[in-house]
Structure 1
Amino acid sequence: LYQGIPTKRDELGQTMILLEDGSNIRELPIIVRKVSNTSIIFSENKTSNGGNALVKVDQDSKIDVSSDKLDGSYKSNSNDLEAQEIIDYFNKCYTARGIFAILETIPANEVTPNVALQALKKIVTLENNKTFRNTVGETYRNIESEANKIGLHENETFTRTAVLSRLVDKILTSRDSDILLNGYLIVNRDIIGKYIDQDNKNRFTNEILCRVTDGKFSINQTCEAIKIFSDITNKFNENVDKLWMGITEKSNEITKNNIMNIVRCLPYLNKSRKVVLSVVEKKLFDFWYTIDGHDVAEILVILTQIKSNSPRILSILSQWVNKNIHTATEDDLIEIINGFCLVNYNNGSIEQALERYVKAKGVSIKNPALMGSIMDYCSKFHVRSPVLLQGAAEYIVVHGNSLSPVLLQRLFLPLGKLFYQPTNGYNFWRVLEATLEEKFIQFRPEEAIDMLLHCVYLQKYPLNFVKKVFNPYFLDRLHSYKNKEIIILSRSKLQILDIAMTLECSQYQGPILPKPLNSPPIWQDGRVKRMTNNIRSILSDIAGSPECMAYNMIPARLPSSDIYVIDALMLNKSPSIKMWPINLERDYNLHTAIIIHTPEHYCSHGKHLLGKQEMRKRHFRYLGLKVVSLDLNELAKLRVHPRALRNYIEEMFCSAELPFPKIVSLAKP
């Protein structure tokens, strides 16, 4: 076998450096070699002989084991055949003892790095398999004791340990970095820990760190090293963050073929993640048109994993979607849309691309989950696109009977949330009602309540399903949940549904549910409260007196919900009635409700209110209130211009929505 012992890597330390990347300054770890004068002299020799020093054989002679010579002999045809014959002999062995016997008979110059790698791999595999065969069902802690008991290493001698150490030495001398990485994987597979000690494993680690720092690893090899370092331990490996130089210093070698390997490394990094991400941002701009839909989906998944919202990468990916959406498969497109939702990113390019896609394919989309993802996108970002929403309505008409309750809900709820009335109204509601009737029992209670409530948003009143919801069996199903938050939220929605049906549907005999005695606290938007305070003087002037104003109140007999909070109520003076206490049924068509709408109350374009807010206004009008809608953003803009602010508010009062004719009463007979 190989008789020389190569010089060990100089002792490694680490330090932190400050790296300036544009306007960003980052603190990154790097390795530091602690060298001596002798090491410096040897390093000069390394330059001339290909990176390996002279190795001491005995006191009288030295042999040169430069990797140039080793690799040269390895590349010769004769040695290549001999090496393959040796490896074939290894594969015929069934015990580690047989491998050692072969190694004792092989001349040192025939043990190439590849032969050493295969020998080490076979030894570790045989010993690990033997241990598992004899300790089935035992824990890792018991494996070692069981190994000793069955005599797993009873014939192990100092010679064998030395042979294994020399195999490691031979692998470390290889100029082929793939052999080095494979060797590192093999030594970390040795769960017994007796043949391959921690010192030899550390030597592999140091060699990899040094080669990456010296720029001897390719981009793909550096990425593989990052993955291997991360996989060998359950905890975060600090050495992973020292490999960033292998990517940043070779950024000019990044191509369309290896850029995805770098992206896949991002979840493994910690302190150096941002600097590597910066490299990806710069290079992805050069290759974005060469990646496919699967790559785009994978990038979005990784950005979600590392909790990064890189604007440059997301802008590039949205550009790809806009240009190449028809080349992506339906499964990839689902992942892409879900990825944009998870990273909370939306822009006009994505919306335009989805509109073109739905126009082109529409009801011919094979996977209904894709249409569900498109509707999830519309719902999350309040995209009120008639093309997309109408596409969902037509999809329900054609495929409604075959849709699962979950998919039916995903397709329908955005229509109600965004207050979109399908143009094929008759067919749409006919299919939806029939499907809901057929599959109602398959809906979870909270899903069924949402379906009915969103019908009311669109001013469609599900009288046929009222008895299915307001019955003991349904309520028992709801209260069987262990999650109390779902129960509380669903009960609140049931009360809103009950009040909505009572106010808007004359055939509904309600209200059915009593108002709860103990109402939970209501969350109120701080922006609205502050703006209300800012315009109090103007509202008081319009009302005629501060006493004619009330703020943040909920009308009597309405559920305690944020949608029934009146931001400001202007009371109309009348000499024939008392102003206080407020009685909306008595004072029908006298008072004015002022609602301040935040940006979240509108669609993404800021033109249409959401269905929930439209229903809110309708209910106040059914209660006999005039409704004045004020836009929070507009109020904020005009706040520094008092006269313009007053003019805007007065203009909104002039265009107030009048109450509906009085037809119902919330008071039970």
Structure 2
Amino acid sequence: MRMCTWLPSLFNAGYAQDEQLIPFPSFHMALITLPKSHFYLSSLPTCRILTCLRKYLSPDNKKGRKIMCQGYFPLQQKQFRIYFQHAYHKKHHSEKGNKPHPIGPVLFQTATWERFEKSDGLVDDQRIYKKLNSFTSSEQVLKFVSTLETLSDTMAATALYRVSEMEQDEGGQKVPKTILENEIFRALCFQFEYESTNLSDTGLVTALKALTGLHVDPQSNLLVNLMMECQNRLLQGHMSVHNLCVLGESMIKLQSPNCAVLKEIILQLQSQKLQECEPEDIVAIYMLLQAALGEVVQYQDFLDHLNHLSISLVYKFNPKFTSQVLNALVVLNQTQAFPLVVKLCIHSVRFVPHFTSEELRKVLEAFIHFGYTDKFFTEALEQHVSTSCLTMHPECVTQVMQYCSKKMILSKPIFDAVAESFVYQAEIFSPVQISQLIVPFGKLNYQPPNAPLFFRKLENTVRTQFNYFPPQVLLNILHSCTLIGRHPVNHVAKLFRPYFLQKLQAQKSGLNRSILAQLTQLYLATVLECPFYKGPKLLPQYQVKSFLIPHNLLETPMDLLLYKTIRVGLIDLLGARIYFGSRVSTSCCYTVDIEIKLDEEGFVLPFTSYEDAFKRLALCIDDPKRFCLNSHNLLGKEVIKQRHLRLLGYEVIQIPFHEVDTLQSRSKLVNYLKKKLFPHSYE
């Protein structure tokens, strides 16, 4: 205690008279030899020492300001108290392959010490946690930490983790130099390295996860010490479920999914009473198993138990947990957990306005992956997109359109909002994202109210960035526009040239039948609907004979049950089966569901007749698969088919399923067909 009162007076005397009276090294030695216990005997002497330090570190005293930061971590309270000494340490978080970098002098502003003096001691961890989450840059986090007098090891690790999160958001694969040279960052790393045995479990695993995310060299002393301490505590078997999961994720990154440590972690998780766990612990287990994807097969029984248990906890999940679990189920391909998926999807309806863009994207991905649709979810999505589309992340907007496209949902509010967003900010979308936005318009046969502006913006974007569009992506966009009668004549000529075809062939998929079918239909549309086109032709070797191509059909096969119903009515109406043909192939690659030939007087000819027919009727037997979901709006590929058949001389007669379903007797069916085929004679 004598030293504690002597040092300030001696220091003040030296500072007041002459700086040379107390050389800096002497002061340094006096400080580092001060017993640790003296810092806790009285807050007043400690504050007096720090007041003297603040004066010594004033801007006018350049010599005294050049000091080195070292964290001090008391054993009793496990709290950070930042003290200083003049020393150099190697950089414990250097990147692999780099030479050790000595930590240089650290300069603190006087204002920091004024705040330090005013601190009332321990700061509430919850308040610090909220404050850390409110920052938007690593510099803000570290600056805030430097203003705190005391900091728990958990909050110190959380601060490092926030730095890690923000650097990953910026796409960094290395710790930026500005972070490496930050004195608070190095003080925290130094403290974690040399006091790893005194850390709490949560502080230990959080620090390891943060430093792993910052790509710290696994061979550095810092990470080696933390990993060894983690393994020691793992062997003791007292770590909580959440800490086990955090440790497991770090070990996967540092070692591999099949490392012995991870197997021990999952073994301990299996022995836990999961029914007593909180929702955040259950979510943490899912996140761990998702990270260990390659080894999940051997843990499927554990996953089944977890899936069954989670059903009763869904109502406790917040938006973040709901999104994370759904994403984990997608990655782990838990198709057998459909009851859990359904409950999560229903639960997600209430959170649609509260999801972040990334969370909503993951939820939509789960809806697509598991083939689930929900009327109320779609309605909530419509309201959300209508009001927030301009502020949503491009990936989320494209995922919304993919959801509508995959599930055949023609949502006019969503399509209108996306079309408006594209007109105003097309520049934020990548070529692939533009394709994902445009294709659903053609696929679902919809033109928004601002169609002239929308397609003009698309044409300008394609023209200015033509060389940046991958060949397949460009073909998808132009083909989609053609489906709804928006013919990209200015660009289509480039697609039929050998150079573009060679680029298509050079792709991984090559010129498969699906690509050739798209090229054929695009060329057919250009010839039939754009007679003024004088550009290059598509050579015969790049054309297909039929659009009924498996896995990527450009026309929907006829539904057999609906066809049999219509066939019975036609036989009664025409008198015999010989008077109509079914599944008739045409010279333009399309297949007609039912074809009927008529002579000049309107009489029906036998379909096997070789004489030229004066008129041909093409009956389109349209079942629900040819329409958008819960709608009477035909798909784009059916609309272009009917359009082309008319241009080829057919009289197209549409027989939709929703009209046939209302006919309750055979006689009503016959009358319905007579009115459809022979409207004039029917009258």
TM class by shorter chain equals: 0.5 to 0.7
Q: Does 1:251 align with 2:286?
A: no
Aligned pairs for 1:7-18 within 5 A: none
- The one of 321, 325, 335 equivalent to 2:362 is 335
How far apart are residue 573 of structure 1 and its match? 5.1
Q: Which residue of 2 aligns with 1:428?
A: 454
Aligned pairs for 1:47-66 within 5 A: none
For residues 646 and 621 of structure 1, the distance between their equivalents in structure 2, rounded to whole angstroms, comes to 30
1:100-139 residue CA offsets vs partner (Å, 9 max, x unmatched): xxxxxxxxxxxxxxxxxxxxxxxxxxxxxxxxxxxxxxxx
For residues 239 and 612 of structure 1, the distance between their equivalents in structure 2, rounded to whole angstroms, comes to 55
1:189-238 residue CA offsets vs partner (Å, 9 max, x unmatched): 99xxxxxxxxxxx9999x88xx7xxxx87544675798799898755988
1:45-73 residue CA offsets vs partner (Å, 9 max, x unmatched): xxxxxxxxxxxxxxxxxxxxxxxxxxxxx
Q: Does 1:552 align with 2:583?
A: yes
- Aligned partners of 1:219 and 1:246 also within 8 Å: no
How far apart are residue 384 of structure 1 and its match? 0.6
How far apart are residue 277 of structure 1 and its match? 0.9
| C-alpha distance 473-264 of structure 1, shift in aligned 2 (>3 A) | closer
- Aligned partners of 1:392 and 1:412 also within 8 Å: no
- The one of 457, 465, 479 equivalent to 1:453 is 479
- Aligned partners of 1:594 and 1:627 also within 8 Å: yes
For residues 666 and 268 of structure 2, the distance between their equivalents in structure 1, rounded to whole angstroms, comes to 59
Q: Which residue of 2 aligns with 1:307?
A: 333
| C-alpha distance 423-279 of structure 1, shift in aligned 2 (>3 A) | same
What is the SS of the residue equivalent to 1:595? Answer: strand
For residues 202 and 395 of structure 2, the distance between their equivalents in structure 1, rounded to whole angstroms, comes to 42
What is the SS of the residue equivalent to 1:571? Answer: strand
- Aligned partners of 1:393 and 1:428 also within 8 Å: yes
Q: Does 1:617 align with 2:648?
A: no
Q: Which residue of 2 aligns with 1:163?
A: none
Q: Which residue of 2 aligns with 1:628?
A: 653
Q: Which residue of 1 aligns with 2:284?
A: 261
Counterpart amino acid of residue 540 in structure 1: I
Q: Which residue of 2 aligns with 1:567?
A: 593
Counterpart amino acid of residue 552 in structure 1: R
For residues 233 and 471 of structure 1, the distance between their equivalents in structure 2, rounded to whole angstroms, comes to 49
Q: Which residue of 2 aligns with 1:283?
A: 313
1:316-373 residue CA offsets vs partner (Å, 9 max, x unmatched): 44445433333333333333333433333321233222212222223x3253222222
How far apart are residue 409 of structure 1 and its match? 1.6
Counterpart amino acid of residue 270 in structure 1: Q
| C-alpha distance 426-632 of structure 1, shift in aligned 2 (>3 A) | closer
- Aligned partners of 2:523 and 2:537 also within 8 Å: yes
For residues 627 and 581 of structure 2, the distance between their equivalents in structure 1, rounded to whole angstroms, comes to 25
- Aligned partners of 1:543 and 1:570 also within 8 Å: no
How far apart are residue 466 of structure 1 and its match? 3.0
- Aligned partners of 1:478 and 1:487 also within 8 Å: no
How far apart are residue 305 of structure 1 and its match? 1.9
1:440-490 residue CA offsets vs partner (Å, 9 max, x unmatched): 232222222222222222222222223222223222322333533x44322
Aligned pairs for 1:221-232 within 5 A: none
Q: Does 1:496 align with 2:517?
A: no
Q: Which residue of 1 aligns with 2:490?
A: 464
- The one of 283, 291, 301 equivalent to 1:271 is 301
Q: Which residue of 2 aligns with 1:349?
A: 376
Counterpart amino acid of residue 498 in structure 2: P
How far apart are residue 622 of structure 1 and its match? 2.3
| C-alpha distance 260-597 of structure 1, shift in aligned 2 (>3 A) | same
How far apart are residue 572 of structure 1 and its match? 2.8
| C-alpha distance 573-448 of structure 1, shift in aligned 2 (>3 A) | same
What is the SS of the residue equivalent to 1:594? Answer: strand
| C-alpha distance 257-493 of structure 1, shift in aligned 2 (>3 A) | closer
Q: Does 1:651 align with 2:681?
A: no
Q: Which residue of 1 aligns with 2:123?
A: none
What is the SS of the residue equivalent to 1:272? Answer: helix
| C-alpha distance 276-335 of structure 1, shift in aligned 2 (>3 A) | closer
What is the SS of the residue equivalent to 1:304? Answer: helix
Aligned pairs for 1:496-645 within 5 A: 496-508=521-533, 512-513=537-538, 519=545, 522-523=549-550, 528-529=559-560, 531-533=562-564, 535-556=566-587, 558-559=588-589, 564-572=590-598, 587=613, 590-631=615-656, 644=665
For residues 224 and 342 of structure 1, the distance between their equivalents in structure 2, rounded to whole angstroms, comes to 27
How far apart are residue 530 of structure 1 and its match? 5.6
For residues 446 and 657 of structure 1, the distance between their equivalents in structure 2, rounded to whole angstroms, comes to 45
How far apart are residue 496 of structure 1 and its match? 0.7
- Aligned partners of 2:597 and 2:605 also within 8 Å: no
Q: Which residue of 2 aligns with 1:377?
A: 403
What is the SS of the residue equivalent to 2:330? Answer: helix
- Aligned partners of 1:629 and 1:656 also within 8 Å: no
How far apart are residue 591 of structure 1 and its match? 2.4
Unmatched 5+ stretches in structure 1: 1-76, 81-170, 183-188, 191-201, 659-669
How far apart are residue 302 of structure 1 and its match? 0.6
Counterpart amino acid of residue 263 in structure 1: Y
What is the SS of the residue equivalent to 2:352? Answer: helix
Q: Does 1:390 align with 2:416?
A: yes
For residues 252 and 475 of structure 2, the distance between their equivalents in structure 1, rounded to whole angstroms, comes to 47
How far apart are residue 413 of structure 1 and its match? 1.4
For residues 302 and 633 of structure 1, the distance between their equivalents in structure 2, rounded to whole angstroms, comes to 40
- The one of 413, 422, 426 equivalent to 1:400 is 426
- Aligned partners of 1:550 and 1:569 also within 8 Å: yes
| C-alpha distance 274-368 of structure 1, shift in aligned 2 (>3 A) | same
| C-alpha distance 595-510 of structure 1, shift in aligned 2 (>3 A) | farther
For residues 604 and 418 of structure 2, the distance between their equivalents in structure 1, rounded to whole angstroms, comes to 52
Name the count of aligned residue pairs: 453
For residues 428 and 230 of structure 1, the distance between their equivalents in structure 2, rounded to whole angstroms, comes to 47
1:38-96 residue CA offsets vs partner (Å, 9 max, x unmatched): xxxxxxxxxxxxxxxxxxxxxxxxxxxxxxxxxxxxxxx99x9xxxxxxxxxxxxxxxx
- Aligned partners of 1:481 and 1:487 also within 8 Å: no
Query: TM-score, normalization: structure 2?
Result: 0.56
- Aligned partners of 1:241 and 1:271 also within 8 Å: no
* Identity over aligned pairs, percent: 21
Q: Which residue of 2 aligns with 1:477?
A: 503
1:501-555 residue CA offsets vs partner (Å, 9 max, x unmatched): 2333343469944656984784497872465356433323333332211111221
Query: TM-score, normalization: structure 1?
Result: 0.57
What is the SS of the residue equivalent to 2:300? Answer: coil
How far apart are residue 623 of structure 1 and its match? 2.4
For residues 178 and 329 of structure 1, the distance between their equivalents in structure 2, rounded to whole angstroms, comes to 27
Q: Which residue of 1 aligns with 2:386?
A: 359
How far apart are residue 611 of structure 1 and its match? 1.1
| C-alpha distance 297-382 of structure 1, shift in aligned 2 (>3 A) | same
For residues 510 and 574 of structure 1, the distance between their equivalents in structure 2, rounded to whole angstroms, comes to 38
Aligned pairs for 1:57-456 within 5 A: 219-220=241-242, 235=258, 246-247=271-272, 249-252=273-276, 254-267=277-290, 269-285=299-315, 287-288=316-317, 291-293=318-320, 295-309=321-335, 310-362=337-389, 364-365=390-391, 367-401=393-427, 403-456=429-482
- Aligned partners of 1:617 and 1:627 also within 8 Å: yes
What is the SS of the residue equivalent to 2:598? Answer: coil
1:571-610 residue CA offsets vs partner (Å, 9 max, x unmatched): 33557997667899x646x222222334332212232111
Counterpart amino acid of residue 606 in structure 1: S
